[in-house]
């Protein structure tokens, strides 16, 4: 019997995924570390601080209970959904039905990635901010949708111009991604923008997916809004929340989708065919984190604010004009004249062994910036500034 060889040609949906633009930086990082170089990584968006002890203790206690060793409920434990509803009402003054308007997720990334599968038909357009968290575009491609990029420009405070969408695109659009506080730009959306976005989406029959993973990481008295605080938002929006950054639980994988009950139902249907829910011990640890509320994460926010001040003031002292971020643990740094984003990132890596993320990796409109993450101790940030100072005289020329 003749054998037909297996074809390992990737399917069209994978071919459409954006290329991995950080491969050269990644390769050089590994090489430098293999050479014994001390590489300072300001590229990764992963907290260096540990998960608070009381959350770890809650996990340990729950993990010892055999009833938590079995399959979890796809909809999550009722007591977890009820706790999130209480937290949401206390934080945003918005009441949610814990049974129909809240869906626990294996991290908000998972829910964001599955949303287009639950809502888009092949060929439908999704409006995606640019620059953006890359999952928005990838998820749309995997669902057979078509991403249409909305520029986020510094001159517009990194808010998309919704009125600029052409009618031919608008009539095919079913989904709009927003992300405030924003990754990578660290921008915060004012109430007026959210009000306009909700009215605009309702007028055009478009669902808004607002990624609020950084809602609790704000500085200088800034208060991030929930989109659901806006009148009419529940008719046209879902919002994604995460415990990852707020409680230093990135590896634990727990988040929530909230909002329009029909979209929550559709997203739950997709998930029930793909995963078996969050490990119940993690759910109970997440419940404990939410019960503690701001008292648990306020000290963490103060640490990031102190790091932000140290880093931005240090760059300003070198003559580098960098806007002070109001939120997130990212700094969106304009590239000096004479460099592209990729060139500056490689210069910092090669000459100072410092990793930053080139802005064009987040989309075409990220060109002209690099993103630095504040997920390092103060002494490492100071060391990064010392290294930058040694080469800062070359910023304006190659």
Distances (CA, A) of 149 to 34, 42, 146, 171, 257: 39, 27, 10, 15, 24
pLDDT at 24: 64
Indicate if 186 and 45 belong to the same structural domain.
no
Indicate if 108 and 246 belong to the same structural domain.
yes
pLDDT level of residue 2 (50, 70, 90 thresholds): confident
Q: Which long-range contacts (CB under 8 A, 24 or more apart) does 263-266 make?
A: 263/115, 263/118, 263/119, 263/207, 263/238, 264/100, 264/101, 264/102, 264/103, 264/238, 265/100, 266/118, 266/119
Of residues 83, 127, 129, 120, the one with CA closest to residue 102: 83
| Alpha-helix residue ranges (DSSP H) falling in the chain | 12-15, 23-34, 53-63, 78-92, 108-119, 135-142, 167-170, 191-204, 261-272, 280-292, 294-317, 341-352, 378-391
pLDDT level of residue 174 (50, 70, 90 thresholds): very high
Mean pLDDT of the chain, nearest integer? 93
Indicate if 39 and 65 belong to the same structural domain.
no
Indicate if 20 and 95 belong to the same structural domain.
no
Residue 80 lies in a domain: yes
Residue 122 lies in a domain: yes
Cα 143 from Cα 122, distance rounded (Å): 7
pLDDT one-digit tens code per residue, 330-361: 999 999 988 999 999 999 998 999 999 999 99
Of residues 33, 97, 107, the one with CA closest to residue 259: 97
Cα 31 from Cα 25, distance rounded (Å): 10
Residue 3 lies in a domain: no
Q: Where is the domain boundary, 273, 292, 311?
A: 292
Q: Tokens in use for 247?
A: 């409680």
pLDDT at 116: 98
Burial of 248 (0-12, 13-18, 19+ CB in 10 A): buried
Alpha-carbon 315 to chain mean position: 25
Mean pLDDT for 55-68 is: 97
**Three-class secondary structure of residue 345 per DSSP:** helix
Domain count along the chain: 2
Q: Are 237 and 198 in contact (CB under 8 A)?
A: yes
pLDDT at 353: 94
Indicate if 352 and 383 belong to the same structural domain.
yes
Q: Are 123 and 252 in contact (CB under 8 A)?
A: no
Any idea what the CATH number is for the domain that residue 17 is in?
Answer: 3.90.1150.10
Residue 320 lies in a domain: yes
pLDDT at 7: 80
Of residues 78, 64, 86, the one with CA closest to residue 281: 64
Residue 377 lies in a domain: yes
Indicate if 357 and 378 belong to the same structural domain.
yes
Mean pLDDT for 256-283 is: 96
pLDDT level of residue 20 (50, 70, 90 thresholds): low
Residue 107 lies in a domain: yes
Indicate if 194 and 245 belong to the same structural domain.
yes
Indicate if 364 and 275 belong to the same structural domain.
no
Indicate if 131 and 197 belong to the same structural domain.
yes
Query: Is residue 21 over pLDDT 60?
Result: no
Cα 207 from Cα 173, distance rounded (Å): 9
pLDDT one-digit tens code per residue, 208-223: 999 999 999 999 999 9
Query: Bridge partners of 40?
Result: 354
Indicate if 235 and 88 belong to the same structural domain.
yes
pLDDT at 19: 66
Query: Is residue 311 over pLDDT 70?
Result: yes
Indicate if 35 and 175 belong to the same structural domain.
no
pLDDT level of residue 294 (50, 70, 90 thresholds): confident
Q: Where is the domain boundary, 227, 262, 292?
A: 292
Cα 267 from Cα 264, distance rounded (Å): 5
Mean pLDDT for 60-78 is: 93
Residue 18 lies in a domain: yes
Cα 253 from Cα 243, distance rounded (Å): 8
pLDDT at 393: 63
Indicate if 60 and 46 belong to the same structural domain.
no
Query: Is residue 320 over pLDDT 60?
Result: yes
Query: Is residue 323 over pLDDT 80?
Result: yes
Q: Are 246 and 286 in contact (CB under 8 A)?
A: no
Tell me the residue range of the domain where 26 lies. 12-50+296-392
pLDDT level of residue 397 (50, 70, 90 thresholds): very low
pLDDT at 203: 96
Residue 397 lies in a domain: no
Q: Where is the domain boundary, 292, 327, 353?
A: 292
DSSP annotation string for 236-279: TEEEEEESTTTTT-GGG--EEEEE-HHHHHHHHHHHHTT-----
Of residues 385, 370, 222, the one with CA closest to residue 307: 385
**Three-class secondary structure of residue 297 per DSSP:** helix
pLDDT at 398: 47
Cα 143 from Cα 120, distance rounded (Å): 7
Q: Are 316 and 324 in contact (CB under 8 A)?
A: no
Cα 373 from Cα 144, distance rounded (Å): 32
Cα 281 from Cα 62, distance rounded (Å): 5
pLDDT one-digit tens code per residue, 112-147: 999 999 999 999 999 999 999 999 999 999 999 999
Q: Are 226 and 92 in contact (CB under 8 A)?
A: yes
């Amino acid at each position: 019997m003749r054998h037909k060889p297996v074809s390992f040609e990737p399917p069209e949906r994978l071919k459409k995924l954006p290329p991995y633009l950080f491969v050269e930086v990644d390769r050089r990082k590994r090489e430098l570390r293999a050479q014994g170089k001390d590489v300072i990584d300001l590229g990764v968006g992963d907290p260096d601080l540990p998960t608070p002890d009381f959350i770890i203790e809650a996990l340990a206690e729950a993990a010892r209970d055999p009833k938590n060793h079995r399959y979890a409920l796809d909809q999550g434990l009722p007591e977890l959904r009820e706790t999130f509803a209480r937290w949401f009402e206390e934080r945003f003054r918005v009441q949610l039905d814990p049974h129909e308007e809240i869906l626990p997720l294996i991290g908000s990334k998972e829910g964001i990635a599955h949303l287009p599968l639950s809502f888009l038909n092949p060929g439908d357009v999704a409006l995606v901010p640019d620059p953006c968290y890359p999952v928005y575009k990838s998820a749309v491609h995997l669902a057979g949708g078509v991403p249409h990029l909305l520029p986020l420009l510094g001159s517009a405070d990194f808010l998309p111009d919704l009125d600029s969408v052409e009618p031919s695109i608008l009539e095919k659009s079913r989904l709009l991604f927003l992300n405030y506080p924003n990754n990578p730009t660290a921008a915060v959306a004012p109430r007026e923008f959210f009000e306009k976005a909700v009215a605009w989406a309702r007028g055009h029959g478009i669902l808004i997916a607002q990624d609020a993973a950084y809602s609790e990481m704000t500085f200088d008295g800034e208060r991030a809004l929930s989109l659901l605080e806006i009148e009419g938002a529940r008719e046209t929006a879902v919002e994604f929340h995460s415990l990852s950054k707020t409680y230093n639980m990135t590896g634990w994988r727990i988040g929530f989708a909230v909002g329009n009950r029909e979209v929550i139902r559709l997203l739950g249907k997709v998930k029930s065919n793909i995963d078996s829910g969050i490990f119940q011990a993690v759910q109970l640890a997440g419940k404990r984190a939410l019960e503690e509320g701001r008292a648990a994460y306020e000290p963490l926010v103060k640490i990031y604010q102190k790091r932000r001040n140290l880093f931005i003031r240090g760059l300003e002292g070198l003559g580098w004009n960098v806007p002070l971020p109001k939120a997130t643990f990212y700094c969106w740094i304009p590239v000096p004249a004479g460099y592209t984003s990729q060139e500056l990132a490689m210069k910092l890596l090669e000459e100072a062994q410092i990793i930053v993320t080139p802005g064009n990796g987040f989309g075409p409109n990220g060109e002209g910036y690099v993103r630095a993450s504040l997920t390092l101790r103060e002494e490492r940030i100071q060391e990064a500034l010392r290294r930058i100072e040694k080469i800062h005289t070359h910023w304006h020329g190659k």
